[in-house]
Amino acid sequence: MAARRVAVIGGGIAGVACALAAHRSGAEVTLLDRGRVLGGRMASRRMRGTGLPYDGRTADVGAGYLTADDAGFEAVVADWVGRGLARPWTRSFDVRGEPSPTDRIDGPLRYAAPQGLRSLVEDLAADLPSVVSSREVEIVERSGSGALVDGDRYDAVALAMPGPQAMDLLAADDPAAEVLRAQRWEPVLALVAAFERRTWPVLDGVFVNDSAVLSFVADDGRRRGDDAPVLVAHSTGVLAARHLDEPASALPLLLAALAQAVPGATEPTWVDVRRWSLARPRVQHDREHWWDGTLGLCGDAWGPRSRIQAAWRSGSGLGARLALSGI
Ligand SMILES: Cc1cc2nc3c(=O)[nH]c(=O)nc-3n(C[C@H](O)[C@H](O)[C@H](O)COP(=O)(O)OP(=O)(O)OC[C@H]3O[C@@H](n4cnc5c(N)ncnc54)[C@H](O)[C@@H]3O)c2cc1C
């Protein structure tokens, strides 16, 4: 019997995990992503023109770290750590504001990646036979027992991206679009602030609970392990929504809030603001993916909590089903 032809649209960790599981289950898989590079929200930004000794270094501007408590994902992370692609970073973050009674809070071990979290997605994708970057899909239509992706026929198609992006590809009355209509997403702005030297007390990250502007700050040098004095701060959704059309207009507010959250972090030499219009889902679907035998949906809005691990699990689960015919 001929292998099923499968298209996975979206090269974030959910799409790559999906494509990999389908490939390993015997499907003939093509992964399509509109980005120049894979990774989606596990994204890096190269810092150019800073005039700093570490000019050209990259900073993580999307996801800040990953955690793992699922046996399958733990094995993937252990493999990355073993090959030096991922590194255990920290269990403790500082806290500003309630509800912490102390100024530090312990949690699960957070992992980071010396080459940026995006490099982990690229590592997974290295085993895929067919990856097409810089390819923005425009339309996915059902046709007979399969589907057309911009006119190319496949037996099964997975949409591995935030719901509003997936809905743009589908007919409004498609059952998959009906499912996605319930999704609501929140934006975030990510500020990268580069300094000549570290002018703040030692910290890995800060949960900022008492600010209308910032929610989290990471020391990117300690996270990556190269010790570069670079901070990355994530805004609140409310602040991002107000400045989505012109993210740079939020800069004065972001810098003032950064100086308050991290004493000494004033007057960076170089700054940049990155906009995430669809940063995180406000509500989660209670199942890990959706699949009707032809079209599948996966990503971090599927499953218990929008995290990298959830996206990986969602994609992996769907991918194993794509290679098999029927529901
Ligand atoms: C600021 C920020 C901080 C975060 N912090 C953390 C954290 O600390 N820990 C954690 O675990 N998670 C964190 N997350 C969440 C984490 O990044 C996501 O859960 C995970 O990366 C989602 O992966 P995904 O594959 O589901 O989606 P995405 O990474 O969004 O991938 C979707 C892909 O689809 C592609 N695409 C979209 N439309 C098309 C089209 N028409 N044609 C072709 N390709 C298309 C995009 O290019 C993209 O590559 C954070 C996210 C943000 C934005």
Give me the CATH number covering residue 133. Answer: 3.50.50.60
Mean pLDDT confidence for 90-94: 97
Residue-level pLDDT at 3: 82
Q: Which atom of ligand 1 is nearest to the CA of 67?
A: 11
Q: Is 89 in the pocket of ligand 1 (CB under 6 A)?
A: no
Is 151 part of any domain? yes
Q: Is 262 in the pocket of ligand 1 (CB under 6 A)?
A: no
Q: How many domains does the chain have?
A: 1
Q: Which residue is closest in CA terms to ligand 1's atom 6?
A: 63
Q: In whole angstroms, what separates CA 63 from the centre of its chain?
A: 5
Asked if 189 and 242 touch (Cβ cutoff 8 Å), the reply is no
**What is the CA(319)–ligand 1 centre distance, in A?**
17
Mean pLDDT confidence for 131-143: 98
Q: At 197, which amino acid appears?
A: R
Q: Is 303 in the pocket of ligand 1 (CB under 6 A)?
A: no
Residue-level pLDDT at 246: 97
Is 239 part of any domain? yes
Mean pLDDT confidence for 102-106: 86
Asked if 5 and 15 touch (Cβ cutoff 8 Å), the reply is no
Residue-level pLDDT at 228: 98
Asked if 171 and 178 touch (Cβ cutoff 8 Å), the reply is no
Q: Which atom of ligand 1 is nearest to the CA of 168?
A: 41
**What is the CA(66)–ligand 1 centre distance, in A?**
13
- Write phi, then psi, for 290 (nearest 5 degrees): -125, 140
Per the DSSP assignment, residues forming a β-bridge with 234 are 190, 216
Other CB atoms within 10 Å distance of the CB of residue 72: 14
Residue-level pLDDT at 233: 98
Is 202 part of any domain? yes
Is 208 part of any domain? yes
Q: Is 11 in the pocket of ligand 1 (CB under 6 A)?
A: yes
Other CB atoms within 10 Å distance of the CB of residue 103: 11
- Write phi, then psi, for 263 (nearest 5 degrees): -55, 130
Other CB atoms within 10 Å distance of the CB of residue 59: 25
Tens digits of residue pLDDT in 249-288 = 999 999 999 999 999 999 999 999 999 999 999 999 999 9
- Write phi, then psi, for 87 (nearest 5 degrees): -140, 140
Residue-level pLDDT at 325: 67
Distance CA 20, CA 131 (A): 11
Q: Is 258 in the pocket of ligand 1 (CB under 6 A)?
A: no
**What is the CA(42)–ligand 1 centre distance, in A?**
6
Q: Is 290 in the pocket of ligand 1 (CB under 6 A)?
A: no
Residue-level pLDDT at 97: 85
Other CB atoms within 10 Å distance of the CB of residue 167: 20
Tell me which of 111, 300, 305, 306 to substitute to probe ligand 1's pocket, judged by most ligand atoms within 8 Å of the beta carbon: 300
Q: Is 187 in the pocket of ligand 1 (CB under 6 A)?
A: no
Range of the structural domain that residue 281 is part of = 5-322
327 has a pLDDT exceeding 70? no
pTM flag (> 0.85): yes
Q: Is the dihedral of CA 245, 247, 251, 254 positive or negative?
A: positive
Residue 207 banded pLDDT, cuts 50, 70, 90: very high
Residue-level pLDDT at 98: 75
Residue 101 banded pLDDT, cuts 50, 70, 90: low
**Which of 94-103, 161-170, 211-220 is the least confident region?**
94-103
**What is the CA(100)–ligand 1 centre distance, in A?**
29
Q: Is 65 in the pocket of ligand 1 (CB under 6 A)?
A: yes
Q: Is 308 in the pocket of ligand 1 (CB under 6 A)?
A: yes
Is 186 part of any domain? yes
Is 229 part of any domain? yes
Which H/E stretch holds residue 158?
A: strand 156-160
Tens digits of residue pLDDT in 35-81 = 999 999 999 999 999 999 999 999 999 999 999 999 999 999 999 99
Tens digits of residue pLDDT in 279-325 = 999 999 999 999 999 999 999 999 988 899 999 999 999 999 998 86
Q: Which atom of ligand 1 is nearest to the CA of 39?
A: 49
